[in-house]
Chain A
Amino acid sequence: MSGSALVHVSDVCKRYRSQEVLTGVSFQVARGECVVLCGPSGSGKSTLLRCINGLEDWNSGEVTVDGVDIAANAHRRGHIGQLVGMVFQDFNLFPHLTVLDNVALGPRVLLKEPSTKASAIGHELLERVGLSGHTHKYPYELSGGQQQRVAIARALAMRPKVMLFDEPTSALDPEMVKEVLDVMRELAASGMTMICVTHEMGFARNVADRVVFLTDGCVCETGQPGDFFSCPTTPQAVKFLSHVLAR
């Protein structure tokens, strides 16, 4: 199992001054697996995700993706960008570039593709997320859901081995959540390795291969979604699910 895993997180600890954010997190994600990270607010989900692509540094422990030590390569952004793609809660599209340029920027600048090839990659990915008619618009001309789909296309353009989603639907109006989740579902079905921090329990139940439940900076419980939602074993998970599912 551990030999075929794509993402290894072993015993990662992180402190902000005296605040312990991660207290020895360990888990693995296999190739093609879709893992949902959930847990109460402040449990360190987003921080853990940001450690996996080196946006945050940590105090002890090790993270490897496809055999590459992230801590040792944190300064080689271009290298990590081709391993790990990330989608943010606030989309963070580049407002001065068109939708197409947002997507084609990575291939053109970092993968050194010729401009026409980069545009072709952009067109293809935008079509895949259902936005082929919006290529020459600027991000502000799009709805939140459309912007988030562009952000997914932008991350995919670097052909990463694993995609990280940091609460991708939390900043969206309710009627736009579905279009983003549909894209993510399609992505999971296509075999992409995904780690998602989300409060969409329906997505976790239906799409995820595994749920990793974090509390107080460490993995509290992990299991198949069916087992996790129907019979959680730890009291923390029971409490969390009673809050979340009561909505």
Chain B
Amino acid sequence: MLPQCAEAVQTQPEQPEPAARISVEKGGLMSVAETLESRVEPSSEGRAGGPRIPPRLRRNLGSIFWQGCTLIAVVALLAFLGHNIALNLKARGLASGFDFLSKEAGFAIGFSLIPFTETDTYGRAFIVGLLNTIFVAFVSMILATVLGTIIGVARVSKHPPTAAAALVYVEGLRNIPLLLQVLFWQQLLINGLPGVRQSLSFGGWVFLNNRGLVLPDVSTGALPVPPSLMAAIIAATLIALSIIAFRRAEPSRRRQVTVWGIGALLALEVLLATLTVDWSRPALTGFNFRNGVVLVPEFVALVVALTIYNAAFIAEIVRAGIESVNKGQREAAAALGLPPRLTMRLIVLPQAMRVVIPPLANQYSHLLKASSLATVIGYPDLVNVFLGTTLNQTGRAIEIVTMTMAVYLVLSALVAGFTSWFNAKVALVER
């Protein structure tokens, strides 16, 4: 205790440092105000004959002054907190800095998209957690959007049992806390599914048991040359055809032509990849599966919970979008001869999009952050691996919490940025 006290006393004289910074800030601002004043003076002198500041500028000076005060207060507060943190860490003999990222982690991670062993670094553990978070959130977002759209459309169905079922789904699932749903699905998957030897088989390629979902693996060996050459020739032909089609198309069709061109290329890629890559079929040998990718039950439970919960909200968003489309649009489509299904797909949903996208962005942002509930069922996401295990072992709380917060901030900003870009595109087409 004593040495720590002595240290604290010793550091006391350093206290005035932030105060000095404040005075510098103030000086800076004052000089800005002065230069503004001096710049104005000549013109106002010329007109009124006295050193007067025009009222508009005076008001601006007032707001600059208050903004400056706020800035100084915030900087001072941060400096104060930062200083105390430094003091406290020192007092407890804790190190700070990001050097821990290159040290050996010494723990294993149950599920990772990139190879990870106990001898890898904390930095790599961070990447594994980050990728796991992105993976689980991305898969859930797509599934929730698909499921939510289907339920949203069912919600406005003219067929009463369908609409009622959708209503029960929405009201039932959005009113149960997500945490409980995550725990429910985890328990159900672990206790409700058969063991490895009694796995549920889907066509002999996909297996489901209480240790997870087993999918066929791809072995990414070198592609045989002839197929890749063939692929190149077909791709070149497709690109050439697309360009010709693009040139010939009506301007309003060009977007469609582009989309189809890119779609055809992607389809070709996927087809060739499926044909040329070696799919290794999972096989039960002894007590476990060989040659398969296992999605752990925690991953499956989290995806199911996030999908089902968020789909309930997305369904309501989609319903609101559908109902926002003028009734006259449906009548016009019906009068033209479009059956209800085509009317929904070609007329109503495209117009609903522009209403749907902003709240959908909100929901994605929520889903991303809610994926951190992974930690309660032990799915190794960023919070679990980094904020949990890594923090426990290294004790670098400030660095780790800051990095984790920064990751969620950046990912949320990316989601928001993408959706607003998409929204602008859709809005441009309609208005």
Contact = CB atoms under 8 A, between A and B. Distances in A.
Is the A/B pair a real complex?
A: yes
B89 interface: no
B342 interface: yes
Contact of B337 (A93, A96, A110, A138): A110
B338 A94 contact: no
Contacts of A86: 332, 335
Contacts of A81: 335-338
Interface string A42-80: 000000000001010000000000000000000001111
Contacts of B252: 98, 100-101, 135-136
A55 B335 contact: yes
B331 interface: yes
Nearest to A79: B337
A188 interface: no
A96 B351 contact: yes
29 contacts: A77-B338, A77-B339, A79-B337, A81-B335, A82-B337, A86-B332, A86-B335, A88-B328, A88-B332, A92-B332, A93-B332, A94-B333, A95-B351, A95-B430, A96-B350, A96-B429, A98-B252, A100-B252, A101-B252, A105-B336, A106-B337, A109-B338, A109-B342, A136-B250, A136-B251, A138-B430, A155-B336, A158-B336, A158-B337
Q: Which 9 A-B pairs have the closest CB atoms?
A: A81-B337, A92-B332, A86-B335, A92-B328, A98-B252, A78-B337, A77-B339, A96-B350, A96-B430
Interface of A: 53, 55, 77-82, 84-86, 88, 90, 92-96, 98, 100-101, 105-106, 109-110, 115, 119, 135-136, 138, 140, 151, 154-155, 158
A77 B429 contact: no
Interface residues of B, number: 25
Interface in B403-431: 429-431
Contacts of A96: 350-351, 429-430
B167 to A, nearest CB: 25
B328 to A, nearest CB: 4
A105 B253 CA distance: 12
B346 interface: yes
Contacts of B253: 115, 119
B69 interface: no
Contacts of B338: 77-78, 81, 109-110
Contact of A88 (B331, B340, B342, B429): B331
Nearest to B252: A98
